[in-house]
Amino acid sequence: MTDMPYRRLGRSGLKVSVLSFGSWVTFGDQVDTNLAKDCLTAAREAGVNFFDNAEAYAGGQSEQIMGDAIRELGWERWSYVISTKIFWGIHKDTVNMANTLNRKYLMQSIDGSLERLGLDFVDLLFCHRADPETPIEETVWAMSDIISAGKALYWGTSEWTADEIRAAYEIAERHHLHKPVMEQPQYNLFETKKVEREFARLYDDIGLGLTTWSPLASGLLSGKYADGIPEGSRASLPGYEWLRDMLTDEKKNKQVTELGAVAERLGVSTAQLAIAWCAANPRVSTVITGASNVAQVHENLGALKALDQLTPDVMHEIATIIHPWLKG
């Protein structure tokens, strides 16, 4: 397998593997601690050093499983980068503890996450969504205080707008606080607006790093939904009914089939091509991949082979499949 490349997280000095491993959907829902250990080991052995999580994933179970797995594997704390994200909360019916970025919630939720993960600190801490009801200044002060307390090393945002990120950065700069370093947006062949247009000025202006999620558009870009929803797939799980319309979109599945022909010519899978396409953007620090078994981990990491083959001509061919008007 091709050696894993590492990229700086934006303008920070921290380096993360260009492909990383995340636990959304799988840990707690499809993966227990033993299987988690196998998947984490497979990723680490391939050079992955960044592992992504969130408080809300499986109501806290995902953090617990990842923390237990890493402890049982005996990994040295200095040898990996781990993140979590806070906003949704796990105390759903409690005022001040759900769907918020107020100071009380932030200061208490990081403690809960660290307890479940079994860690003294996380490397990256994300505000999982923006909170229009809390002043950004209050959120920035709290996140900066969490960094100062040593409970996280860097903080950032997920699915914030460019204006919100810039406001947070400028507040931090004005008050000499710890600034947001990274954003975690969705980014794939069907979802490019934030990364390629909305955030365009932020990369040079504030040195924004990206840890992107859903490189396969929740599985659509794997090609496995061309004939409907397979039994046991993510879209067949209770609570994921919202995915089904997107995954069975006839036009997009036709485009995925065309991408499959390009992938076949290159000797890789459609999924590997799609993941590699995300990693080919130099603004992307790391592409977060997910897997419910070891075979999927190896399949995703095979995208490194595809990355080496994404010449300008191949990238243009892919672009014309997704945006047919470019053919002219």
237 compared with 305, residue with greater pLDDT: 305
Whether residue 307 lies inside any domain: the answer is yes
Mean pLDDT of 166-183: 98
Q: What is the pLDDT of residues 2-11, one digit of tens each?
A: 799 999 999 9
Mean pLDDT of 218-234: 81
- Asked if residue 1 has pLDDT above 70, the reply is no
CA distances from 22 to 82, 155, 290 (A): 10, 17, 5
- Asked if residue 126 has pLDDT above 70, the reply is yes
The CATH number assigned to the domain holding 191 equals 3.20.20.100
* Neighbouring residues of 239: CB distance < 8 A, sequence distance ≥ 6: none
- Asked if residue 242 has pLDDT above 80, the reply is no
Question: How many domains is the chain partitioned into structurally?
Answer: 1
- Record the pTM: 0.94
Q: Report the candidate in 266, 261, 271, 267 with the shortest Cα–Cα distance to residue 291.
A: 271
Known catalytic residue: 203? Answer: no
Whether residue 113 lies inside any domain: the answer is yes
pLDDT category at 234 given cuts 50, 70, 90 is: low
Strand stretches in the chain, DSSP E: 6-8, 15-17, 19-22, 50-52, 81-86, 122-127, 152-157, 180-183, 209-212, 286-290
Q: Which of 57, 154, 187, 225 is catalytic?
A: 57
Whether residue 239 lies inside any domain: the answer is yes
Measured in Å, how far apart are the chain's first and last C-alpha atoms? 37
pLDDT category at 189 given cuts 50, 70, 90 is: very high
pLDDT category at 289 given cuts 50, 70, 90 is: very high
Q: Which amino acid is at 130?
A: A
Q: Can you give the residue range of the structural domain that contains 24?
A: 6-327
Q: Which amino acid is at 208?
A: L
Whether residue 1 lies inside any domain: the answer is no
Beta bridge partners of 211: 286
Strand stretches in 200-249, DSSP E: 209-212
Whether residue 261 lies inside any domain: the answer is yes
Whether residue 35 lies inside any domain: the answer is yes
Whether residue 111 lies inside any domain: the answer is yes
Which range, of 11-20, 161-170, 227-236, averages the lowest pLDDT?
A: 227-236
Helix, strand, coil percentages, rounded to 5, for the chain: 50, 15, 35
